Amino acid sequence: MAGLLALSRAIDRFNEIIGKAVGWLILLSILISAGNAIIRKVLNTSSNAWLEAQWYLFGAAFLLAAAYTLKQNEHIRIDIIYGMFSRRTQHWIDLLGHVFFLMPFVILMISYFTPYFLLSYRSGEVSTNAGGLIIWPAKALLLAGFILLGIQGISEIIKKIAIMRGDMDDPTPFISAHEAAELEAKALVEELKQ
């Protein structure tokens, strides 16, 4: 178990670094989009590459951050019934969900996206829009997103089992969406008082 937990910690750290770093791509995307709009209006020129770069960057951000979002337990659930279960039942739901809902989907997608990406990469596929970008990096991002999600899934399964066996504390204890809303409000209030 100790070895597995070490693996899980390594995965968590890795995905945390990536998940926090990719946020900056959204800022870059915003600047490109605003700049593109202004330049188009003022200079009357535009390029499809700039348009495509925006969703490339956003795609990179949301795909690569999905694993970190999973680690932070931030993928939204409908907790109206889940919230009524005992914590132990919730652990079981999470564990079975990881094993039977998340992992089969992720593994299937990895197995589909690998040839999908390779085909695009080998043929040097380029966007059909005039002056567009090469396409394979976008498809590589989809593959990478699912791979990260897959390894985070492994980490979550390890942690869940460890928590249920009593080998570690629960890093993300259950808070209902409404409690989360109240916590968010408190954080905001703190900030405004500064």
Partner 1 sequence: MIEFIAQNMAPIMFFSLIIFLLVGYPVAFSLAANGLLFFVIGVELAPLSNGSINLSWPLLYALPDRFYGGVMANETLLAIPFFTFMGIVLERSGMAEDLLDTIGQLFGPIRGGLAYAVIFVGALLAATTGVVAASVIAMGLISLPIMLRYGYDRRLASGVIAASGTLAQIIPPSLVLIVLADQLGRSVGDMYKGALIPGLILTGLYMLYILLMSIIRPKSMPALPLEARTLGSGVTSLIIALIAAGAIAYGAHVWLSPTHGDNADILGATVGTIVIYIIAIADRALNVNMMSRLAQQVIIVLIPPLALIFLVLGTIFLGIATPTEGGAMGAVGALLMAAVKGRLSLDVIRQALASTTRLSSFVMFILIGARVFSLTFYGVNGHVWVEHLLTSLPGGEVGFLIAVNILVFLLAFFLDFFELAFIIVPLLAPAATALGIDLIWFGVLLGVNMQTSFMHPPFGFALFYLRSVATRVPYLDRITGKHIAPVTTGQIYWGAVPFVIIQVIMVALVIMFPQMVMHYKGVVVDPGTIEITVPEMPGLGLPGVPSLDGAPPAGGAPAPGGNDLSKPPSFGNETPAQPAPPSNDLTKPPSFN
Nearest in space to 155 (alpha carbons), one of 103, 113, 116: 103
Site for partner 1 in 139-158 (CB under 8 A): 139, 141-142
Q: Which of 9, 101, 126, 171 binds partner 1 (CB under 8 A)?
A: 101
CA geometry: angle at 60 spanning 114 and 131, to 5°? 90
Nearer to partner 1, 5 or 69 (CB): 69
Site for partner 1 in 160-179 (CB under 8 A): 177-178
Q: How far apart are the C-alpha atoms of 30 and 187, rounded to whole Å? A: 26
Q: Is 44 left (phi over 0), alpha (psi -120 to 50) or beta?
A: left
Q: Is residue 133 a contact point for partner 1 (CB under 8 A)?
A: no
Residue type, 25: L
What is the per-residue binding string for partner 1 in 58-97, x denoting contact by CB under 8 A? xx-xxx-xx-xxx-x-xxxxxxxxxx-x----x--xx--x
Name the one residue in this structure whose structure tokens are 């795609």: 59
CB 6 to partner 1: min, Å: 26
Q: Return the SS3 of 135.
A: coil
CB 166 to partner 1: min, Å: 23
CB 150 to partner 1: min, Å: 12
Q: Is residue 42 a contact point for partner 1 (CB under 8 A)?
A: no
User: Are residues 167 and 80 in contact, defined by beta-carbon separation less than 8 angstroms?
Assistant: no
CB 4 to partner 1: min, Å: 22
Q: Is residue 31 a contact point for partner 1 (CB under 8 A)?
A: yes
Tokens, residue 95: 């564990």
